[in-house]
Structure 1
């Protein structure tokens, strides 16, 4: 039997994910649905399932709204074992029990995301995110905040929370404080919906990599530049290379989507897309505009 667990789910509205997680709680578990303000739709919900509480985190100061929500949730949570999750993907009825079983076998564990586009730009970028956001999480043993389980004693919680309230990326920072084992179990996460949403998300993703892994970013830009030159000079063999590589990654993580065919055009576009993401001075996330000048220098400018 798994120990009592606190599940943290930041969201401003009640979604299917809230119902899915609430239905899987054990008798001593708790689900903390963490919102920004008392005026958020989820904060005014009059009926909550057993074991579910709504926590109001307040406005972020010097960090992102997501980081503020997670930090508030960690301080409010009652249990030693903690699960982080998000409100934007579906999970099966044994999701929570499977995470517990993974923890008993491996210690801290994370699942991996696959970002599914809902507009032209986010669809085009699927191969890029498959390589960076799916394969990258798995191969580099990074945590994904959508599905990660750990215990407080697995990290220096006080140091982690102090830094969390000074940065943007909750899971980017967690990866620096926690030794986590990724399991090859993929969750499809719909993203985008409009060109602006996709651009802002891309900028945020790029800056997370840049702020937390500056050397890796430089290496990726160098490699991307080489691949771009080769792609222009030798289009047919590089088309085959990019397509087969993307197809192999999709298959390795159990994803069957036609977008693996976009591997070649994304390869040609990755350097300017990366450069744009780094060059942008601000980005929008969750209705707020952030200026992220350094890993621990964050301002909400709108």
Structure 2
């Protein structure tokens, strides 16, 4: 395999985490890691004068018409020195061969993305792990959708100007990237801890529900219809449906190489999916990263607080 071109890795975060160290250690001399924060008030900004070689701090500023994450990614794309781009997040472990493996995947497939497996840290996020496995993991992989936690592409793989223009007007960075980029979703998972409190998990579910609704409204209609049918079947025939739901979820877990006892929660999670989606769609606002947003339409985002 030929040597990959110089690469810019974008990592939005407000604090220095183990993920920053993981990625910085994998840089070649010609690569760069752009740690993107909001501004000087973020804890990571205090490290600006003591960053490892190849690491730069980018201050994105406060978002005005998009989410803080979308604003950070757009600022990182503008600041990147290279045409080969990697997106990643600060909340999961990056093994020592993470970056080199993505480069090898790109040589075989073109633009690529890994998939997340969300691991709950509070009662609600633990309970809905099977839903996240079916939607967030299997759904992302089966639909060849990009995940912002681990995506590699080059600027010429998409219309970068059009993408960035829209990115500054919306909430979901990877939801929009999936519309602009023809990527291959790899069957390689990264375990991402989520939640911490029931309130935080509810806000996350609201955001996920609205992302699906804004970017894939037909998918949301299908999810609600299928979910309603399964809920009715689960109420009428709880035993058989519980067995089938558990077996299906166990297959998905095994397919992605995940061993988690939460597979046993497949039936109660299934019975909750329609009420949770309905709650998510009914909410007018949601909180993400300390900011409250109202999202009336796909390219109309209002920072409320």
TM-score where L is the length of structure 1: 0.99
Equivalence map 1:1-302=2 (5 Å): 1-45=3-47, 46-302=49-305
CA distance in 1, matches of 2:20, 2:109: 26
Specify the SS of the correspondent of 1:238: helix
Specify the SS of the correspondent of 1:28: coil
CA distance in 2, matches of 1:288, 1:273: 21
Runs of at least 4 residues of structure 1 off by over 6 A? none
Instruction: Tell me the CA shift for residue 288 of structure 1.
Output: 0.2
CA distance in 2, matches of 1:61, 1:235: 48
Structure 2: gaps spanning 5 or more residues: none
CA distance in 2, matches of 1:185, 1:295: 29
CA distance in 2, matches of 1:259, 1:274: 20
Specify the SS of the correspondent of 1:34: strand
Specify the SS of the correspondent of 1:12: coil
Instruction: Tell me the CA shift for residue 195 of structure 1.
Output: 1.0
Specify the SS of the correspondent of 1:167: coil
CA distance in 2, matches of 1:99, 1:28: 17
Specify the SS of the correspondent of 2:27: coil
CA distance in 1, matches of 2:185, 2:70: 21
Give the number of equivalent residue pairs: 302
Cα deviations by residue, 1:57-91 (Å, 9 ceiling, x for unpaired): 00001000000000000010010100000000001
Specify the SS of the correspondent of 1:113: strand
Instruction: Tell me the CA shift for residue 281 of structure 1.
Output: 0.3
Cα deviations by residue, 1:83-130 (Å, 9 ceiling, x for unpaired): 000000001100000000000000000000000000000000100000
CA distance in 1, matches of 2:80, 2:100: 19
Specify the SS of the correspondent of 2:50: coil
TM-score where L is the length of structure 2: 0.98
Cα deviations by residue, 1:142-186 (Å, 9 ceiling, x for unpaired): 000000000000000000000000000000000000000011110
